[in-house]
Amino acid sequence: MVIGREKILELVKRGKLIEDFSEDCLEGAGYDLRVGKIYRLKGGGFLGAEDRKMPDVEEIRFEEFFLKPEEYVLVETLEKVNMPKDLVAKVLPRSSLFRCGCSLVTALVDPGYVGVLIFGLRNLSEFEFRLEKKARVAQIVFEQVKGKTRSYEGRYQGGKVV
């Protein structure tokens, strides 16, 4: 079951579900996430059966960022989430992004995860795309977890970029 506006607001007030929360970003069944930081990949990575090597990244200082055609960057949210054990979240692109020729690459936000969210942004068009700091680019939608689960204990806990 998707969590609605009223319940999201209650969870924010009671349990700090979303830090740096702005009621202007609260939608009917989700919350619009804003751009906090942008990172450029500085090399390749490796994902194996038992090992991985993440690429180095470089933070880009900006107030307005110009994403070139075919360019890919990592976006860190302004908001931090504090996921309770009984919720999971999906991050979806706002439709304005694909209308501008861009695609968002996201992942599931597990129960128990705490930190900022990181996702990929790629310009699929042949035109430059301008993005301001604090622009709303994604929507997080919360769903209830039924049955027994466990809290996230992965390497990205706390909002680690790579």
Between 58-62, 69-73, 151-155, the lowest mean confidence (pLDDT) is in 151-155
Residue range 95-121: mean pLDDT, rounded: 97
pLDDT of res. 146? 94
Query: For residues 147 and 103, is the Cβ–Cβ distance under 8 A?
Result: no
CA distance 106 to 37: 16
Residue range 77-94: mean pLDDT, rounded: 97
Give how far Cα 5 sits from Cα of 10, 29, 99, 157, 162, Å.
9, 5, 25, 26, 32
User: At the fourth CATH level, which superfamily is domain 5-144?
Assistant: Deoxyuridine triphosphatase (dUTPase) (2.70.40.10)
> Mean pLDDT in the chain?
96
% of the chain with per-residue pLDDT over 70: 100
pLDDT(110) > 90: yes
Please choose, from the candidates 94, 96, 91, 101, the residue with its C-alpha nearest in 3D space to the C-alpha of residue 18. 91
Higher pLDDT, 20 or 160: 20
- Express each pLDDT in 1-33 by its tens digit: 999 999 999 999 998 999 999 999 999 999 999
- Express each pLDDT in 41-70 by its tens digit: 999 999 999 999 999 999 999 999 999 999
Give the start-to-end residue ranges of the domains of the chain: 5-144
Query: For residues 82 and 15, is the Cβ–Cβ distance under 8 A?
Result: yes
Query: What is the model's pTM?
Result: 0.94
pLDDT(76) > 90: yes
pLDDT(134) > 90: yes
Confidence of residue 160 (pLDDT cuts 50, 70, 90): confident
pLDDT of res. 159? 87
CA distance 116 to 156: 10
pLDDT of res. 27? 96
